[in-house]
Amino acid sequence: MPPSKDRYELLRTRLRRFTRMLHGAQSGDVRAVHQMRVASRRLRELLPILQIDAVTGQKLEHHLRKVTRLLGTLRELDVMATLIGELRARDSSDHVALDRLADLVADARARALGRLGGKVWKQLGRLSDKLGRVAVQLNAPESRLPQRRGWRWALDARIAHRAERLDATLRAAGAVYLPERLHAVRIATKKLRYAVELSVEAAGGRTSADLRTLKRSQQVLGRMHDLQVLIDFVRSVQARLKSPELAVRRSSDDIVRGLENSCRRLHARHLRERPALRAVLEHLNARPAVDARATARRAG
């Protein structure tokens, strides 16, 4: 059986991924932007169980949340550019409208990347250094004593908290296609996935059936959300079109209808896969029980 990992090893792995993507993200590389944003989310999931002092933890959480938000705009524009490229490859009839959309997305991305500026990237470099110092502290002999292993209990409490939240969002979403409620399901699924991922890695594993189900569900919901974001963008562009651009407006209507049909198909797939998602929640709830008040206080 693979050896389990301690807090230092978990932080070191995630910090390495975060730091490795810094230069590429600064230059605007699409993959690096995405990977760095994911790395910031994984670091945020780990922070509450590191057992570092509260002030340091809060500051690091604040800075990591800022990273996620700043890179989120770039990532959203990159996803829209990719979807527009897919539509171009699939159908040549809407190229006038698609070319217009592609140009607007490219301009918005250039402005978003320019707004980040050198100061932001220096701050991210300093954030990486601070996390590195936390890792050094966790690697100290006194931090590796057996009595410091309460963090595993905190991780179980966090998973219980995340599972409860996902169950609530699934109930609220119902069976009707409501983008905002499905977005809440997507976020709750993602957070539970990262917590379970952390637990599996801490135990020395690489994946699990629960983790695979959560990842598959997140991908379906994520694709649906990306299409909905593009729908909203196309509609906002339509609202700014002038009278002579009726051909672009009609073409945009066709694009929106196609995207909405794709969303309905993905929603139907999500509904078919919900039993598997609920089975994951039942399995996680069957784990050793944690005191509810302690969970709320320590899981975050």
What pLDDT score does 38 carry? Answer: 93
Q: Which of 148, 163, 180 is the last residue of a domain?
A: 148
86 and 15 share a domain? yes
230: Cβ contacts below 8 Å, ≥ 6 apart: 79, 80, 83, 84, 259
246 and 224 share a domain? yes
Asked if 228 contacts 263 with a C-beta cutoff of 8 angstroms, the reply is yes
As a whole number, mean pLDDT of residues 204-218 equals 90
As a whole number, mean pLDDT of residues 90-96 equals 70
- Structural domain including 30 reads 1-148
157 and 129 share a domain? no
Q: How many C-alpha atoms does 159 have within 13 Å on its Cβ side? A: 28
Domain count, the chain: 2
129 and 275 share a domain? no
- Position 297 confidence tier, pLDDT thresholds 50, 70, 90: very low
Q: What is the pLDDT of residues 149-184, one digit of tens each?
A: 678 888 888 999 999 999 999 999 999 999 999 999
18: Cβ contacts below 8 Å, ≥ 6 apart: 36, 39, 40, 43, 128, 131
The chain-wide mean pLDDT, for the chain, equals 87
258 and 206 share a domain? yes
47 and 111 share a domain? yes
What pLDDT score does 247 carry? Answer: 66
Res. 222: pLDDT tops 90: yes
188 and 199 share a domain? yes
Percent of the chain, pLDDT > 70? 89
227 and 81 share a domain? no
What pLDDT score does 7 carry? Answer: 87
What pLDDT score does 243 carry? Answer: 59
Q: Which of 108, 132, 148 is the last residue of a domain?
A: 148
144 and 251 share a domain? no
Backbone angles phi and psi of 145, in degrees to 5: -65, 150
101 and 169 share a domain? no
238 and 272 share a domain? yes
What pLDDT score does 295 carry? Answer: 43
d(CA 73, CA 171): 30
153 and 271 share a domain? yes
Q: Which of 148, 168, 188 is the last residue of a domain?
A: 148
